[in-house]
Amino acid sequence: MPGLLITFEGNEGSGKTTLIRATAEALQRDYQISTVETREPGGLLLSEKIRDLLLHYPMNPWTELFLYEAARAEHLHQVLLPALKKNQWVLCDRFTDSTLAYQGAGRGLNWDQVKELNLLATQGLTPHLSVFLDIPPQLGLKNATEKNRFEEEKVGFHQKVRQGFLKSIRQEPQRWIQLKALSDSPQNMASGLIQTLKTRFPQSFRKKRSPTSPKKRSTRE
Ligand SMILES: Nc1ncnc2c1ncn2[C@@H]1O[C@H](COP(=O)(O)OP(=O)(O)O)[C@@H](O)[C@H]1O
Ligand SMILES: [Mg+2]
């Protein structure tokens, strides 16, 4: 059973963290799939320290970009690659597409240069699937629970970020699925997502175990 990297992308307050939790719960409960929930920037002590700098200290956009990539390089080697090697499913809250959307489209850094740095930091690892939770930025900002430097940006910045995500989707449509944020309960949205995963990665699913089915007996008994 091969490991999968599934990334969750979208503006602030679009329900990424909530959907990851609900999806991981359902994958473990219904399919006995071993999941790792992680986030960028962050996911381990050093990258969480970089996250704190990124989210709370004003800095030049290029510094911002390099800090994201530094946190990513560490996260790749300490969390993502080991989990994928163990055939786990990694559900990652933001990844390279957020860097394109925020530092590329939002801050106005050169899109292709950001893409190149992403590629260096990830050593070419790309998500098997990326989920875009689409939300009108104004609504997302109202809904966001985390206070940080990005959340405090004007709505125009967040509009550009959303356009950045849409550009990533146009460039690689087959890698993405788009969901309307907050359109259903987190549990129902997770079930819908899992149906899509079953269609896309049928070999990665074990047979659903029914609690009432008798245990298989050996034919020698
Ligand atoms: N499907 C949903 N339906 C209703 N409320 C939701 C849903 N998903 C998330 N929320 C709520 O929206 C807020 C932001 O969700 P969160 O997962 O933190 O978003 P993000 O991680 O994208 O910033 C939280 O208060 C959360 O409980
Ligand atoms: Mg979140």
Please report the pLDDT score of residue 198 as a whole number.
Answer: 97
User: 184-197, pLDDT tens digit by residue?
Assistant: 999 999 999 999 99
Ligand 1 center to residue 145 CA distance, Å? 8
With a cut of 90, say whether residue 207 has pLDDT above it: no
Please report the pLDDT score of residue 1 as a whole number.
Answer: 43
Confidence band, pLDDT 50/70/90 cuts, at residue 208 = low
CB 27 within 8 A of CB 194: yes
User: 148-204, pLDDT tens digit by residue?
Assistant: 999 999 999 999 999 999 999 999 999 999 999 999 999 999 999 999 999 999 999
For domain 4-201, the CATH architecture is 3-Layer(aba) Sandwich (3.40)
User: 83-93, pLDDT tens digit by residue?
Assistant: 999 999 999 99
- pTM of the full structure: 0.93
Supply the residue whose CA is at minimum distance from atom 23 of ligand 1. Answer: 13
Which ligand 1 atom sits nearest the alpha carbon of residue 11?
A: 22
Calculate the CA 131 to chain-centre distance: 7
Peptide bond into 58 cis (omega under 30): no
User: 7-37, pLDDT tens digit by residue?
Assistant: 999 999 999 999 999 999 999 999 999 999 9
With a cut of 60, say whether residue 221 has pLDDT above it: no
Please report the pLDDT score of residue 213 as a whole number.
Answer: 47
Supply the residue whose CA is at minimum distance from atom 16 of ligand 1. Answer: 15
CB 179 within 8 A of CB 132: yes
How far, in Å, CA of 79 to CA of 91, rounded?
Answer: 11
